[in-house]
A and B are shown apart, each in its own frame.
Chain A
């Protein structure tokens, strides 16, 4: 009996000594925070000038200006932002889709500007929603993300309307976007008009662009916290 008590004391002392030498226990490793990548695609560029705006500016320049504004706002909010172009260069549609697909983006926004219509035009692809497969045709890859693209359109529509902007929504064939494997939309800035359809702000007006960029950033923030939004690669 005495022998066993002595052994227990020695064992306790030995354990306490080992415990003092070991470093303090590390907290359990946290799962890595999933990246939330946003792709901003300023449409046109280089020889592809896009529309001629009535202010004299070209659509490609107006798109790039809005892209820079939106990138700054999203970066300030902690998003990882990838832009398809940072200068006046021509990027093929397939290359833009490749950039978005390699980035495993959670939202892809293609920016356009026009002289026709009124307010902001939001377009999702007109592809019929389809179930994802291991290999998807390049030209219709967006079909598997169509439902989530429409959900993103809802979030952006809500933010733009909340900002007091006129919004029209539609689904049209969008060759560049239809190859993207991410929730993707085209946002086209039309002129702001009053009740008599008189233009009150051109699509390249800095104040108008700032208002739209701010609403888009708020929408992406909302989209990140949307419980229905699943991982970017799992449509």
Chain B
């Protein structure tokens, strides 16, 4: 003879098991719907890949203190700011490569953003000021020295001028703020004239 309290307990446990089963089914169904909804937010069209173009990169050499123009083929977006970032990214990729003549770790990711603004005191109305925002990691890992830091700054200025001639002035920020020097030597408080950084092989005073 089964006691009455055991029958009641069995019925309660059965109802609880059925209830939990139904709840589990509902949660699973809800998660499935959320997953399907998330998939619809994914891009349905492939991103447009910019066509490869010729770009002139003014590459620094620590061993003879020179800036030498080199032509490379790389995808260049139409937007001038994105274009400037792309050429500088390629330049810093060259510096991060082994056997570089101007070794700096970091690569393309070191250029956070390039903003193009109307240049102050411009001689012609189309002149632009490029504000190059470098990452703090790049500045922290940059070798310290008058020559190496100056070459980095001047090669960036010359590369921008070679590919976007409307850029006449260049100003540098690190993590979005002004910084006295790049790694203790090159002055980053001033605005550089891109014409100052003419490529020269074996500079002489």
Residues of chain A touching chain B, judged by Cβ–Cβ distance below 8 Å, are 44, 48, 50-52, 59, 112, 114-118, 121-124, 126, 150, 153-154, 168-175, 186, 188, 190, 193, 197
Contact A169 B203 (CB under 8 A): yes
Known A48-B184, A169-B65, A170-B65; judge A124-B148 contact (CB<8 A): no
- B145 in contact (CB, < 8 A): yes
- B44 in contact (CB, < 8 A): no
Contacting residue for B147 out of A44, A150, A175, A188, CB 8 A: A188
* Chain A residue nearest to B144 in the complex (CB): A51
Complex Cα spacing A116 to B183, Å: 13
Known A48-B184, A150-B205; judge A59-B144 contact (CB<8 A): yes
- B185 in contact (CB, < 8 A): yes
- B64 in contact (CB, < 8 A): yes
Which of A112, A116, A169, A175 has the largest count of B CB atoms less than 10 A from its CB? A116
- Residues of B172-205 contacting chain A, CB below 8 A: 183-187, 189-190, 192, 196, 202-205
Contact B205 A112 (CB under 8 A): no
- B135 in contact (CB, < 8 A): no
Measured between C-beta atoms, what is the minimum distance from B39 to chain A in Å?
51
Which of B62, B190, B196 has the largest count of A CB atoms less than 10 A from its CB? B62
Contact A169 B184 (CB under 8 A): no
Contact B205 A188 (CB under 8 A): no
Known A44-B184, A173-B190, A175-B187; judge A168-B145 contact (CB<8 A): no
- Chosen A-B contacts, 30 in total, with CB atoms closer than 8 Å, are A44-B184, A50-B184, A51-B143, A51-B144, A51-B183, A52-B144, A112-B146, A112-B185, A114-B143, A114-B145, A114-B146, A114-B147, A115-B145, A116-B145, A117-B62, A117-B63, A117-B147, A118-B63, A121-B145, A121-B147, A122-B205, A168-B147, A169-B65, A169-B203, A170-B205, A171-B203, A172-B186, A188-B146, A190-B145, A197-B63
Contact A114 B144 (CB under 8 A): yes
Q: How many A-B residue pairs have CB under 8 A?
A: 87
Known A154-B205, A169-B203; judge A112-B145 contact (CB<8 A): yes
Measured between C-beta atoms, what is the minimum distance from B204 to chain A in Å?
5
- A sample of 5 more A-B contacts (CB under 8 A), given A59-B184, A112-B145, A117-B63, is A50-B184, A112-B146, A115-B144, A116-B148, A117-B62
Q: Which residues of A contact B146 (CB under 8 A)?
A: 112, 114, 121, 123, 172, 174, 186, 188
- B150 in contact (CB, < 8 A): yes
Residues of chain B touching chain A, judged by Cβ–Cβ distance below 8 Å, are 62-65, 103, 143-148, 150, 154, 183-187, 189-190, 192, 196, 202-205
Contact A115 B143 (CB under 8 A): yes
Contact B150 A172 (CB under 8 A): yes
Complex Cα spacing A190 to B63, Å: 10
Q: Which residues of A contact B64 (CB under 8 A)?
A: 168
Contact B203 A170 (CB under 8 A): yes
Measured between C-beta atoms, what is the minimum distance from A194 to chain B in Å?
12
Which of B65, B144, B146, B183 has the largest count of A CB atoms less than 10 A from its CB? B146
Contacting residue for B205 out of A44, A115, A124, A190, CB 8 A: A124
